[in-house]
Chain A
Amino acid sequence: MTSYLIRRVLTLIPLFFGITLISFLVIHLAPGSPIDVLADLNPKMTAEAKQRLITYYRLDKPLHERYWQWLRRFLALDFGVSFSADRRPVMDKIKETLPITITINVLSLLLILLVAVPIGAYSASHPYSTFDKFLTVFVYVGFAIPTFWLALLALIFFSVQLEWLPISGLRSLDYANLSLVGKLWDFVSHLILPVLLSAFSGLAGLSRYMRGSMLEVMRQDYITAARSKGLSEAEVIYKHALRNALLPVVTILGLSVPSLIGGSVIFEQIFGIPGMGRLFFTGVMSRDYPLVMGILTIGAFLTLLGNLVADVSYAVVDPRIRRGGG
């Protein structure tokens, strides 16, 4: 087992650096440079001033040299300083935005799970019933509706008409003067709509997957055996079938770990949430290479880690994998 683990980790290392290299090349291939944002069509910006900035950001150095420099800094766990005018360390910016993005994504994933599993299970146990069809339509509507539109409708209804919920941001203006409970409620109330809406649009995938997996399981012999034992239908479904049907769903969940840090540009934009999605988006738009590289690297790392965990847990469960792997 240990040697399997070591082998897996060793193969991941070149993969990881491969990813950083490709990411580095791709973002530098995109037309334009960070100087564009500062200088484009600004008459106060002469050619020499531009040249000074280019030298300042080391954009005059060849690409491999810059990658090497990035790599050396990265090995010291330093992502460098953002190219944007605030010149703050990339790590600080990521640290600021990551928690809220993870919070929202975890909450919405939990919510999806909480709703999608029963929906899927019910649909599978009553396939092609009216309710199954209704649920199918419902989740697909959620999937198909443009989320920005739905989000605006929800804002107009809950926040402007009913005045139940705040509109944007994470904290109210008078946050500092609130009691502890007040602060907590203030924070939670700001999260309700973003979490609900992102869960709504994500329902379709998981509930359909659950339904499929469940239908598969229901055809297995042991379900027939359970039924023939005389167990009640509820016991058959919720005790025997559901547990087994959940396994592949959990695998899917494991694979979605990296997307937890991705954040959604659209939601963060509409609800004015200071998260990673917006950070990354503005980073790309302004060609803020260190920032983009920082986020991509962390994303790559988490993806590989997710894969590793998945592989290792399979190996734990299934001895054939760890023996036959090499």
Chain B
Amino acid sequence: MGARDVIVFFSLSLSLSLSLFGCGERERAETPLPNLKSVAASPQPAYGDTVVEGSIGEATNLIPMLASDSASHGIAGLIINGLLKYDKDVRLVGDLAESWEVSQGGLQITFKLRRNVRWHDGHRFTAHDVLFGFQTIINPNTPTAYAEDFRQVKKAEVIDDYTFRVTYEKPFAPALSSWGSLVVLPKHLLEGKDITKSELARKPVGTGPYRFKEWISRDRVILEANPDYFEGRPYVDRYVVRVIPDLATMFLELKAGGLDLMGLTPIQYKRQTDDPFFRKRFTKYRYLANAYTYLGYNLLEPKFQDKRVRQALSYAIDKDEIIKVVLLGLGAPATGPYKPTLWFYNPDVKKYPHDPAKALALLKEAGWEDRDGDGVLDKDGQPFEFTVITNEGNALRHRTAVIIQERLKKIGVRMKIRVIEWSAFINEFIDKKNFEATILGWTTGFEPDQYDIWHSSKTGKKELNFISYKNPEVDELLEAGRRTFEQEKRTAIYGRFQAILAEEQPYTFLYVPEALPIVNARIHGIEPSPLGISYNFNRWYVPRELQRYGQVALVP
């Protein structure tokens, strides 16, 4: 159900199914690595072979602007390029754009496009394709969830075949990252047609490192290398995504050799793959995922309006314990709304180590004391109790709630837990602000803008600042962050923003889980980064002597 809680969708990400992972280190095997990996000492990149990945969900639509699921974006990301992309260090670099220039105080962005890029059907790629994609995404008849960033554009124009310029109403820094893979469309195939009925949804034509080959519904999607790719022919000849809806089956399939790549659960990572068999045949990776889980307080509730109360609850909760129990240690404590390792993450904010004494002192300051000796704190004759709600189908959150319940009980705060089916949870409780506290998660991206979650103008019904957090300084910072393009200035702005959130604790930020991909050891060239591992898929390779699937498999 995790994918349903998705927020801050990141438009440039490559294979989302994998790139939900951030930076981390390669798992070190304790024993010397025999056969497969010994070749790794002097591996020679070679063309050929197939990489088979397992996916729980099936892609729905391979035109990125029409899809909102990670499976679709993961596959489309290999077929379709954007104007810009993130490099290994999460800096924006050109993709289809060779260079770009921000002018007129951030109002205008001019993209210089690569020449000699061809669509997979041989047609030349030009600025007209970008303009066409832009016009399509802002067309009210296009059922897309991503139009908003593009609606800020006042004017979009083709200067010449290889120059594209957009002018904004006001400077909008997140705009740059929006010019990713969502917006470039092959005009020659779509002009004058209804995009929702286009066959490109199931047979996409892009400019990317892989070409679409075949899609067997509910079973698999097959891509093959594009020999004419502008960054050079990818090493791996064929990429297959198999839909296996059950994680246990997927794991067996991996074990039996039917899959080269999947994401593990913490249990699978810690207990089921920690043996010589797996160490010999697979490489495990662990990264901080682009997500965090939090305990959010409804600030319309009088008892949560006092900052000291929220701070006290944060001190009372033992984040390390939650990570140890719920994630088997495969995660990191969250200190704010960004994951560590990204350039805008501020490590020097106020932290809340487990400290029940401090929690009690703060609560006492705020007037909460156990006056009647029943073991529960009270104030004005009212006991300190509240209900936390969370959605059904997320065992991690439920377990987190139980651990928090136990910790709070120890300082005399009574917390009840209510688990509600997702649709009802959102419609009846979150959207209507009909809750006291909630355990939820956000998926984050590589762009620090979080205007929609924290700005005071976003506290309306069905908006995302559903805890009703209002802070004028935060408002200002969020606005400034949107106006500023320079990375140093933005780092300062969002650093301050994180410091305020850490001080005020509108959420108790709980943990950032780790993503745990496992990859067959014959595959080389993986360079973990905060983006995940799949961002450089076209540079992955299998040394000749380790190749498993022959060339013959490529013949239809």
* Partner-B contacts on A (CB < 8 A): 30-33, 36-47, 49-50, 52-53, 56, 84-88, 93, 96-97, 152, 155-156, 159-160, 163, 166-171, 173-174, 176-177, 268-272, 274, 278-279, 287
Contact = CB atoms under 8 A, between A and B. Distances in A.
A279 B58 CA distance: 11
Interface string B175-190: 0000000000000000
15 contacts: A31-B423, A31-B427, A32-B423, A38-B68, A40-B422, A41-B7, A41-B426, A41-B464, A52-B140, A87-B61, A87-B201, A156-B252, A160-B255, A160-B256, A173-B240
Contacts of B452: 43
A42 B7 contact: yes
Nearest to A169: B219
B148 A272 contact: no
B241 to A, nearest CB: 12
Contact of A85 (B52, B69, B460): B69
A85 B68 contact: yes
A97 B217 CA distance: 9
Contact of A176 (B69, B246, B250, B556): B556
Interface string B233-254: 0000000101111101110110
Interface string B362-394: 000000000000000000000000000000000
A43 to B, nearest CB: 3
Given A167-B253, A176-B556, A87 B197 contact: yes
The list of the 10 closest CB pairs from A to B, nearest first, reads A32-B423, A274-B218, A43-B452, A85-B60, A85-B61, A31-B424, A272-B244, A31-B423, A86-B60, A41-B7
Interface string B425-465: 01110000000000000100000001111000000101110
Interface stretch (B88-96, B502-510, B547-555): B547-555
B60 A171 contact: no
Interface in B504-539: none
A83 to B, nearest CB: 10
Interface residues of B, number: 67
B202 interface: yes
A269 B66 CA distance: 26
Given A86-B60, A176-B556, A274-B219, A45 B252 contact: no
Contacts of A268: 245
B68 A42 contact: yes
Contacts of A45: 145, 148
Interface string B192-220: 00001100011000000000000011111
A168 B140 contact: no
Given A86-B202, A173-B240, A270-B246, A160 B426 contact: no
Contacts of B69: 85
B67 interface: yes
Contacts of B549: 173-174
Nearest to A274: B218
A41 B248 contact: no
B9 interface: yes
Nearest to A287: B423
B256 A278 contact: no
A170 B9 CA distance: 33
Interface in B18-67: 50, 52, 60-61, 66-67
Contact of A86 (B201, B242, B245, B442): B201
A171 to B, nearest CB: 7
A272 B52 contact: no
Given A159-B252, A274-B217, A31 B243 contact: no
Contacts of B146: 44
A97 B460 CA distance: 43
A42 B553 contact: no
A42 B249 contact: no
B68 to A, nearest CB: 5
Interface centre among B52, B217, B249 (most CB of A within 10 A): B249
Given A86-B61, A87-B197, A269-B246, A167 B218 contact: no
A49 B240 contact: no
Contacts of A279: 218
B426 A36 contact: yes
B6 interface: yes
Contact of B52 (A86, A171, A173, A270): A173
A270 B249 contact: yes
Nearest to A163: B256
Interface string B408-428: 000000000000011110111
